[in-house]
Amino acid sequence: MFLKMSSNQVRSYCWRVALCICLVYLAAIFEEQGSAATMQTPLMIMLAAGLLLGLAAGFVMHRSDYCVAGMFRDLFLFRSTLLPRTLVLLVGLSLVLFELVRLSGLVAFPFPFFGPPSGVNLVGGLLFGIGMVLAGGCVVGTLYKLGAGRFPSLLALIGLVAGSTLYAFIHPGWAAFSRMLTLPTRAVTLPQLLGLPPWLLTVPVGCLLLGLVFVWFRQGRLRQHGVVEGYLQPWQAALVLALIGVASVLVLGMPMGITTSYSKAGAMLLTGVAPELVAGTPYFQLQPLNYLPPLGGGPLTGGPGPLLDGVALVQFPLIIGIAAGSALSALLLGEWQLHLRLPWRQVLSALLGGLLMGLASRMAPACNIWHLFGGLPILAMQSLLFLAGLLPGAWLGGLLLTRLVMPPAAD
C-alpha cells in the first residue's frame, strides 16, 4: 500500500508520523525530567534550545552539504582540500570562543563525557572512519541527509542503532581492554597534561589556525565555484556551526553530541521484545552523565538505558532538530524526494557502514562531530587520538568503497 502512494502522499505521511513521534517524546522527556516546579523553566529552555540548535545545524548542513564523512573521503579519493580547510576555520574559531566561555566561568570545563585518554580512542576513530565512508555520512550527516529524503541514510541510521545496541553486549570486555590501554595520566586535556593554563595553548593555536584561514581566503581557496542558487558556501557553514557549538556549550553545558541516544533508542526497542535482557545487561544500567547544567535546574544524570533521562533531554531535541532543519531546507528548495530503489551493493554498504559506526561510536567513545567540533577546541586528548585514528580509517573506507561498493563499468 505504501509503495503505491504518490510522492506527495508519502512525504505528507512521513511528516505526520515523524511529527507525532517527536511531540510525544518531547512531552515525555519534559514530564520525566521536569516534575519539580523549580526545574521546569531551565529544562524547558534546554529542550527548546536543543531543538533550535539542531534545526539551525540541519538547515546549514543541508544548504552547504557540509558532510564530514565526505570531507575526509574526498580528501583521500580526490585530493580535495576545500572542506578540510573549512574544518580548520571551525576548529580555530571554536578554540578561541570556547576559551572565552571557560574564562567567563559560566560553564564547567572539561565537558561531561570526556575522560583520560586511552588507546581505544585511536581504535574507535579508525573503525569510525571506515564506517562513515561506507555509510555515506557520519552520525550527524546521516540525520541531515535522512531529513532531505535520502533512503541510504535511513539504512545507515538502522545500522547505527543496531551497532550501538550490539555494543552493550561486548561492553564488559571492551571496558577491560580500554583500561589496559589507558595512558598513565589523569589529565583530560593537553594543557592539563603539560600543567599550563588552557589559554596559553588554545588561544595561540586558534589564532595560528585562523591566520592560515585568512591566507586561504585571500587566495580564494575557501570558495566553492559553480554552485546552484540557494547554496551556502562551506566556509560560511563552518562559521555558523562554530557559533552553534558555542551556543550549545553555553545553554546545554556541552558541545553537540548525539551518539548515546542511538544506544538508548536500541534499548527502548529491545525493551519492547526482551525487557529482561535489557534489565540484565550492565551497560544499559550505566549513568555516565552527571553534571549541573549552566542554566540550573538541578543535576542531570543519564545513560544509554531505555529511560527518558538527562541524555534524552539533551540529545533527542538535537536529533529531531537536525533532521527537521534539513527537511525544511530541502522543502524550501523543492528538493525533498524519497528514492527507494538502490543497488544492492549500496544497500549493504549503508547498513554495514552504519553498524560499524554505531559500534565505533561506543568503543571510541563518541563520534566525529563530538570530537572534532567539541573536543579539539579544548585540546582534549581523547579527541586528538580519535582524529589520529579517523584519518587512516577514512582512507581505508575509501579504499573499500572503490574496490567493493562501486562496481566496475562493465558490472
Task: For 316-351, give the DSSP string.
Answer: HHHHHHHHHHHHHHHHHHT---------HHHHHHHH
Residue 228 lies in a domain: yes
Cα separation, 287 vs 281, whole angstroms: 13
Residue 411 lies in a domain: no
Residue 410 lies in a domain: no
Global pTM reads: 0.91
pLDDT for 42 = 86
Asked if 376 contacts 115 with a C-beta cutoff of 8 angstroms, the reply is no
pLDDT for 228 = 81
Q: Which domain holds residue 221?
A: 2-405
Residue 280 lies in a domain: yes
Residue 136 lies in a domain: yes
Residue 220 lies in a domain: yes
pLDDT for 229 = 82
The C-alpha cell that represents 304 in the structure block: 544509554
Number of structural domains (the chain) is 1
Q: How far apart are the first and last CA of the chain?
A: 33
pLDDT for 39 = 53
- In the block, residue with C-alpha cell 550501538: 164
Give the closest residue to 361 by CA, choosing from 290, 286, 258.
258
CA distances from 38 to 43, 76, 290, 325 (A): 10, 52, 19, 31
Give the closest residue to 286 by CA, choosing from 319, 309, 257.
309
Residue 69 lies in a domain: yes
| Host H or E run for residue 291 | strand 289-291
Cα separation, 187 vs 191, whole angstroms: 8
pLDDT along the chain (411 residues), means of 10: 48 52 54 52 90 97 96 96 97 98 95 96 98 96 95 96 98 97 96 97 97 97 87 96 97 96 97 96 96 88 95 95 96 86 92 98 96 98 98 97 78 42
Cα separation, 331 vs 60, whole angstroms: 14
Residue 305 lies in a domain: yes
pLDDT for 22 = 55
The C-alpha cell that represents 115 in the structure block: 575522560
Evaluate the omega torsion of the peptide bond into residue 282 and state whether it is cis, within 30 degrees of 0. Answer: no
